[in-house]
Amino acid sequence: MAVVEHLEGNLKFFLGDREAFNLIFAVLGPCAKKFPSVKSRLSTFSAKVLKSAATSPAIEGHLRQYVPNAPAPITPTKKELTEEEILEALYTKSIPSGYSRALLINKFLQRRMEIFTRVTEPAELDSQMLAIFGGPGIEELVAQMPQRTPLETIEMVFFKLLSSFDSKYNPHTVCMFFSLNAIREFSRVWSAQQWAVLARYVVEMAMREPQQMKMAVDLIEHLVDLTSVEVAVPIAEVIVTLARSDLPVEQRKQAQNLLDEIQNKYPCLFVDKLANRASIQGIRWRQRDTDGLVTTLVAQAVDPTLTDSFGAVRTLTQLVETYPRVMIRNYGTMAQQIPLLTRMPAALRKEVMPFVMFVLDATLKLLSSMREPSYCYTLGDAVHAFLSFFETISNSEAAAHFGEIMLSLCLRFFSAHTETAREVFNDRSDTLESMLQKISPNNPNAKMLQDILKEVEVEVS
């Protein structure tokens, strides 16, 4: 009887530990068969527990051995939800007892062949769109739309989404809809205002969820492919406006990052940040076009056997003026050629001198836009390479002109990336001193570089 009393006194523990409950009933079972008093005590205990406590099926089986006529527990029936109630529950995230999000979505898809119903009733369609695109968004239903929504309905949804920006909608869910359902027949007739609304959803997604930056860029690229690069203009104008607004700094930073990514994709897209205006200028280049062109032109410019290598240099020079972003992105491709050209025989090196001078001039022009720390090592390697090339021509007529441009480059490099420049100047101080001897002592830049070299020498010593 002491075991039964122990069970009664620690009921909460045993009901929560099925193994312990099974073990104690394994002990009490034979006792109940042998001693009627134990069986009677267990019957009373079991009836009480079955009536007042929730138990697992395994524990209930033990208890019913001693109360065979106990009524079966009443299982509450789940309320069957309508389709509208399912959408409302998913939208508000108020999942009823007995359901889960996955179960609700599964039930909704089982009942409806099409995601939207009664689309001819504006209020009804608005209600369904708010439930699907609003709040957290129901992306599982958006993913089913290409298969479960007629094109006529898709077009209606596009029209409503693009009529004006709605802050109640989840930008990521809306952009997912754009990605999955945009086709040329729809997008080619959108107005500039509709493109601006679309851009607002895209940039809002990028600002709120920076990890979706790639999705934002891919969506814009997909839409440009469906239409033309001109649609990037209203998109860029919305983005630059938000990037220069009074939004929190981090959001403005993400908007600017998105704008930079788009301009990298489309070098022909020019943005006036002061006026918040954008335009397409020159050839309708895309990133893959310009990168391939630069690589081809560089290969032609460094080939001394080609008769028109200078023509390639001329085109590269024009690209620096017209598409500086492209040339910055491909700067490494150009600068990496200098060490290879330095090792050429003197006769061949003379043939590629126009290209070396082009890269030197281009570095001078582009350096003001290459102040980010990520460029310091690339520029440091380039300065090293230029100084090595200077050593090969130091006794030629070109040395003085090359040295003057190199002098200007060294000072700008020191201004933009001081620590890296100090390291380079310390390593190549002999070459720099030799270069300064080729330059007029009256040149003010020469005096500045000499002072820097002395300062570096003092710091090292």
What is the rounded (10 degree) CA torsion for 181, 187, 190, 192?
110
Structure tokens at 48: 């009480």
Q: Are 334 and 359 in contact (CB under 8 A)?
A: yes
Query: In the chain, what percentage of residues exceed pLDDT 90?
Result: 50
The runs of H, that is alpha helices, within 209-308 are 213-226, 232-243, 249-265, 287-301
| Residue-wise burial string across 19-52, b where 16 or more C-beta atoms lie within 10 A, e elsewhere | eebeebbeebeebbeeeeebbebbbebbbebbee
Q: Give Cβ neighbours of residue 342 (< 8 Å, ≥ 6 apart).
A: 349, 385, 388, 389, 392
**Half-sphere exposure for 173 (CA within 13 Å, toward CB):** 23
Residues 21, 23: Cα–Cα separation, whole Å? 5
CA 4, distance to chain mean position in Å, is 64
Q: Specify the DSSP element, H or E, that contains 272.
A: strand 269-272
A 10 A CB-CB count for 351 gives 17
Q: What is the DSSP letter of 229?
A: G
Following DSSP, what letter does each residue of 80-144 receive, concatenated?
Answer: PPPHHHHHHHHHHT-PPTT--HHHHHHHHHHH-SSS---TTSHHHHHHHHHHHHBTT--HHHHHH
Following DSSP, what letter does each residue of 25-67 receive, concatenated?
Answer: HHHHHHHHHH-HHHHHHHHHHHHHHHHHS---HHHHHHHHTT-
Nearest Cα to 205, choosing from 227, 231, 182, 177?
177
pTM (2 d.p.): 0.60
Paired with 272 in beta bridges are 277
**What is the phi-psi region of residue 77: left when phi exceeds 0, alpha when psi lies from -120 to 50, beta otherwise?**
beta
pLDDT digits (tens, 9 = 90+) for 419-451: 999 999 999 999 999 999 988 878 888 889 988
pLDDT digits (tens, 9 = 90+) for 172-227: 999 999 999 998 888 889 999 999 999 999 999 999 999 999 999 999 999 988 88
Contacts by 321-325, CB closer than 8 A, 24 or more apart: 322/281, 322/282, 323/267, 323/268, 323/282, 323/285, 323/290, 324/365, 324/366, 324/369, 325/263, 325/264, 325/267
3-class DSSP string for 191-203: CHHHHHHHHHHHH
Residues 461, 456: Cα–Cα separation, whole Å? 9
Residues 207, 84: Cα–Cα separation, whole Å? 32
Q: Are 44 and 8 in contact (CB under 8 A)?
A: no
Q: Tokens 């050429």 sit at which residue?
A: 344
pLDDT digits (tens, 9 = 90+) for 32-75: 677 777 677 777 777 777 666 556 666 666 667 666 665 555 55
pLDDT in tens, the chain (461 residues): 666 676 666 767 766 666 776 777 777 677 767 777 767 777 777 777 766 655 666 666 666 766 666 555 555 556 688 888 898 888 888 888 878 889 999 999 998 899 998 888 999 999 999 999 998 899 999 999 999 999 999 999 999 999 999 999 999 999 999 999 998 888 889 999 999 999 999 999 999 999 999 999 999 999 988 888 889 999 999 999 999 999 999 999 999 999 999 988 888 888 888 888 988 876 666 777 778 888 999 999 999 888 778 888 999 998 898 888 889 989 999 999 999 999 998 888 888 999 999 999 999 999 999 998 989 999 999 999 999 999 999 988 888 999 999 999 999 999 999 999 999 999 999 999 999 998 887 888 888 998 899 888 766 55
Residues 80, 108: Cα–Cα separation, whole Å? 12
A 10 A CB-CB count for 455 gives 12
Terminal C-alpha separation, the chain: 93
